[in-house]
Amino acid sequence: MTGTRIIYHIDMDAFYTSIEQRDNPSLRGRPVIVGSDPMQGKGRGVVAACSYEARKFGVHSAQPISQAWRVCPGAVFLRPSMGKYQENSRRIQAIFREVSPSVEPLSIDEAFLDMSDAVLNFDDAIRFAYKLKRRIHKEEGLTASVGIAANKFLAKIASDMRKPNGVYAVRPDKIQAFLDPLPIAKLWGVGPKTESRLNNLGIDTVGQLREPGGQEILTKFGRQGKLLAQLARGIDDRPLVTYRNPKSAGHEHTFAEDTRDRAILLETLHQLGEKVALRLQKHGLQGRTVCLKLRYANFTTITRQSRSRMPVETSDDINRISRDLFLLHWDRRRKIRLIGVSVSSLVDESTDTGLPLFPRPDPGDLVF
């Protein structure tokens, strides 16, 4: 399995209207539509978002608000409170960044998370997804759906499969069974034009695209055809695009078996410190704060940090500090699931390279 990525696509369920329903209990269970003013059916704007109760009436986002008014006259119509939605989004993204070093925000309520380092395998990824969903619900009062797969393309389709409030994993050996029955419109890059062109050639499903006849047809689509042929086989090597400027450099390790073996823990910590130092050097960075992260077997996570007066950059510095932190804060009765070290309060030695400090996880970090 080495080299297989594990990507989450997390999509908040009916984000805007769920926030409104959370904040105003009288809206719960009712059709709620966020968008422009319906003006008694004469409004000219569109629906920005609608609750699941409104969707039952055929309301959908981007629909003309006048039409929504006609099909669902009993709905509560609200103007958007973008500031509030953005603030909720920021808090949720902060949770994502806590669980994954590599997060690609797609929109205000969606993100890809590279979980390759944070989980052991697909079973673990599924368990952790439920944990994460529970946490988001507990802290933010909102539900999310999670798609899990080896790449962004599959994870994005998967998050839609059990919406709302669901988790769906496309295991590597089930990719073809998952894709084949899907309509071709599910393929990345297939808009209405390509869809009808392919439909007219007798291609309705991804499975048909994979057959020799479908492959033949794709040769007429040039570059796009090559891409579609790959997607139809579930291949998508696009990395996560993380725009954030680096604020910290870190590595973490998830143990195949939870452990409280002091020697193993210290040795792992040491190796992580070496990697962090290498990464800092590679980017010409120094930091002042060393942070230790411990996740216990029951998934409770603690972070403890130490700020030093002198800049930290060598592995000796990092290892000395992280070892002290570990020995001071580890509850020795408890087994550890994950250990991590990061250095933050970064100062640039030369000029800002703008390079992401968290590119794709090294395959060497994967434990299966």
Decide if residue 117 touches Mg ion (CB under 5 A).
Answer: no
Main-chain phi, psi angles of 179, to 5 degrees: -75, -40
Q: Which is nearer to Mg ion, 14 or 120 (CB)?
A: 14
- Strands laid side by side in the 76-78 sheet: 47-50, 32-35, 76-78
Window of 6-14, 59-67, 235-243, 308-316 that interacts with Mg ion by CB under 5 A = 6-14
Q: Can you tell me which of 20, 53, 104, 109 binds Mg ion, judged by CB under 5 A? A: 109
**Span near Mg ion by CB under 5 A; candidates 11-19, 223-231, 325-333, 354-362:** 11-19
- Told to check if 48 binds Mg ion by CB under 5 A, we report no
Alpha carbon 82 to chain centroid distance? 22
Residue placing its CB nearer to Mg ion in the complex, 109 or 114: 109
Active site residues: 110
For residue 172, how far is the Cα from the chain centroid?
A: 18
Angle at which helices 15-23 and 82-99 pack, to 10 degrees?
A: 110
Choose between 109 and 117: whose C-beta lies nearer to Mg ion: 109
User: Quick one: 13 or 204, whose CB is closer to Mg ion?
Assistant: 13
Least distance from C-beta 15 to Mg ion, angstroms?
Answer: 5
Q: CA-CA-CA-CA torsion for 216, 222, 227, 229, nearest 10 degrees?
A: 0
Of 71, 74, 93, 76, the closest CA to residue 28 belongs to: 76
Q: What mask, x for binding Mg ion by CB under 5 A, covers residues 169 to 208?
A: ----------------------------------------
Provide DSSP, 257-325. Answer: EEE--HHHHHHHHHHHHHHHHHHHHHTTEEEEEEEEEEEETTS-EEEEEEEEEEEE-SHHHHHHHHHHH
Select the span of 105-113, 121-129, 213-221, 266-274 touching Mg ion (CB under 5 A): 105-113
Which residue from 189, 276, 258, 182 is spatially nearest to 227, judged by alpha carbons? 189
For 361, the token pair is 């996880």
* Maximum separation of any 2 CA atoms in the chain, in Å: 72
Closest to Mg ion by CB, 12 or 132:
12
* Region binding Mg ion by CB under 5 A among candidate stretches 3-11, 28-36, 236-244, 265-273: 3-11
Minimum CB separation from Mg ion for residue 49, in Å? 8
* Pairwise CA distance, residues 181 & 25, whole Å: 40
Strand partners, 10: 111, 146
Q: Tell me the closest approach of the beta carbon of residue 11 to Mg ion, in angstroms.
A: 4
Asked if 11 is part of the footprint of Mg ion (rule: CB under 5 A), the reply reads: yes
Least separation in angstroms between CB 103 and Mg ion = 16
Least distance to Mg ion from the beta carbon of 143, Å? 10
Positions touching Mg ion (CB under 5 A) are: 11-12, 109
